[in-house]
Structure 1
């Protein structure tokens, strides 16, 4: 729980080398209220699968829909369940002033680091993107990992600047622009962390590795760690046949299903976890749960994926 930035970076680097990064879902009751005991049970299952790190209250965890007290409970439970076995990196976001409030909560709850989600609504110039991190870094002792996605995209020059901000230790990329990403990795100092945070990151994991970014987050781990771990092992082991089969028969169809409806990047993941009996509950508005037809397709695809890795529903 907590620690000096160098120690946290070392633990994160070791975790990224040994497993996928888990972004747990946040559990809600059918009426939409927080189900903190359901979340505790669910997170324990995620940790039992051996992820490289735990990222509660981020995009997959519906950070955008959590009240501050709910956020406090979610981060605290994640820290308690992790028990120091893996780093816990909590999501923060909106403008820097609000992000700083969430950062204080996460620090009090014992988080090891923060993932800085893209700011709210407005586009901003590079100087503003850098200043956003400067303002937040000045208000927390926790290491920061910047997340570029949506309206946030750093240039190589900006990457050099943010890497000099005390406490900024890494970058999660969700743009999948490999030309830009290669420029960023070349501009970064030694030891700066990078990981692939694209939606359904496995689809592009091989391509990311070619520009020096082999680590990735896995939404599939949130509902089928058996599939996520089998893919990770095949990829790291150079078993291209197994990688291709999982991509062709499971991951690509999953992406095609995900792209049917906005928000399915979270809604489908949560629905798949429910199909496996995980106590995660529904999504909160503005997201919506999958239609019955899409849910049936998801169930069939989940069975296929589990069969591929010798696991059961």
Structure 2
């Protein structure tokens, strides 16, 4: 580990793409699932196919082994394999970010594994279980950042809650290049955006909407300057995810509202019926699309047969909608 006076990221303060050029992320962000086989092991063949298919659809980046990818259920060895497969499958076409988190010592191990596997950056998830004040979570970010040269996007969610001041503090770290919000408090998030921008000057930095099924809240986030967001839908219906992204970017309110009303809102209502469906519904939908995604690991559960049929109807409605040349709200 580097000493406090030798920060490994001092010369590398922005995202590096797979082609080795420094730049910022754009477009729909792809969060693949982690396929498991019948014995519960990582299905490496299915994972490679899933990522290759997703990258061919045109995302702005791949975020592997994160929330949708069941980071919480992975150990460092299989995590490194998963990240390496993602790097190989993308073949430098888009950046690959890997999940990172857990206890401080484990987070450092995951960061090192991601670097060995060739990841372009990390999405730093909240520490597990403990309740901590903003000062403590800021120290957590600082100590993880000190242990790696990889660019880091900090994820505010669950117990990882920042104030505008602590968000600005971690944003000043040389290798912290982004802040992702999964709390949904737009008042606080607006103040965080303003505080970070005032603190970092012209440093390249990006903000992300990390709410579950982020498309539901993206128009509101975009209004406060948060233009990037996670898309779990891209895993199984990239045509829907891309249609929605274009509609938001082009300020096509009729199309945005139609997609929200007929696809995203019903999907969220189904998702909210059982805790953990934010992952297992996506995994089931990916399986329905021809990828052997397999089951989720405990403590998550797979959808019931009734809910799978409802999911099929929702996906069919979304695909029918985007196939229409004109949308009437």
Normalised by the length of structure 2, the TM-score is: 0.90
Taking the aligned partners of 2:270 and 2:23, their CA distance within structure 1 comes to 32
Taking the aligned partners of 2:121 and 2:257, their CA distance within structure 1 comes to 34
2:83 maps to 1:75: yes
Taking the TM superposition and a 5 Å limit, the aligned residue runs for 1:153-302 are 153-188=161-196, 189=200, 190=202, 191-302=204-315
Taking the aligned partners of 1:264 and 1:133, their CA distance within structure 2 comes to 28
For the 8 Å contact 1:95–1:132, the answer to whether it is kept is no
Cα deviation, residue 166, structure 1: 2.3
3-state SS of the aligned residue for 1:89? strand
Cα deviation, residue 75, structure 1: 0.1
Cα deviation, residue 82, structure 1: 1.2
Gaps of 5+ in 1: none
3-state SS of the aligned residue for 1:282? coil
For the 8 Å contact 1:264–1:290, the answer to whether it is kept is yes
2:314 maps to 1:306: no
Cα deviation, residue 276, structure 1: 1.3
Taking the aligned partners of 1:287 and 1:214, their CA distance within structure 2 comes to 30
Taking the aligned partners of 1:178 and 1:151, their CA distance within structure 2 comes to 17
Measured at CA, do residues 225 and 171 of structure 1 come closer, stay the same or move farther in structure 2, by a change above 3 Å? same
Cα deviation, residue 11, structure 1: 5.3
Cα deviation, residue 95, structure 1: 1.6
For the 8 Å contact 2:15–2:121, the answer to whether it is kept is no
Cα deviation, residue 277, structure 1: 1.3
Measured at CA, do residues 244 and 103 of structure 1 come closer, stay the same or move farther in structure 2, by a change above 3 Å? same
For the 8 Å contact 1:96–1:133, the answer to whether it is kept is no
Cα deviation, residue 243, structure 1: 0.7
Instruction: Write 1 or 2 for the structure with the bigger share of helix.
Output: 1
Number of corresponding residues: 307
For the 8 Å contact 1:34–1:70, the answer to whether it is kept is yes
For the 8 Å contact 1:12–1:87, the answer to whether it is kept is no
Normalised by the length of structure 1, the TM-score is: 0.95
Cα deviation, residue 7, structure 1: 4.8
3-state SS of the aligned residue for 1:172? strand
For the 8 Å contact 1:12–1:52, the answer to whether it is kept is no
Alignment match, 2:110: 102
Gaps of 5+ in 2: 1-8, 325-329
Moved more, 246-255 or 136-145: 136-145
Q: C-alpha deviations, 1:220-260, integer Å up to 9, x for none? A: 10111010000001111121111110000000000000000
For the 8 Å contact 1:49–1:225, the answer to whether it is kept is yes
Moved more, 200-209 or 63-72: 63-72
Taking the aligned partners of 2:109 and 2:37, their CA distance within structure 1 comes to 26
Cα deviation, residue 183, structure 1: 0.3
RMSD (Å) for aligned C-alpha atoms: 1.6
Alignment match, 2:59: 51
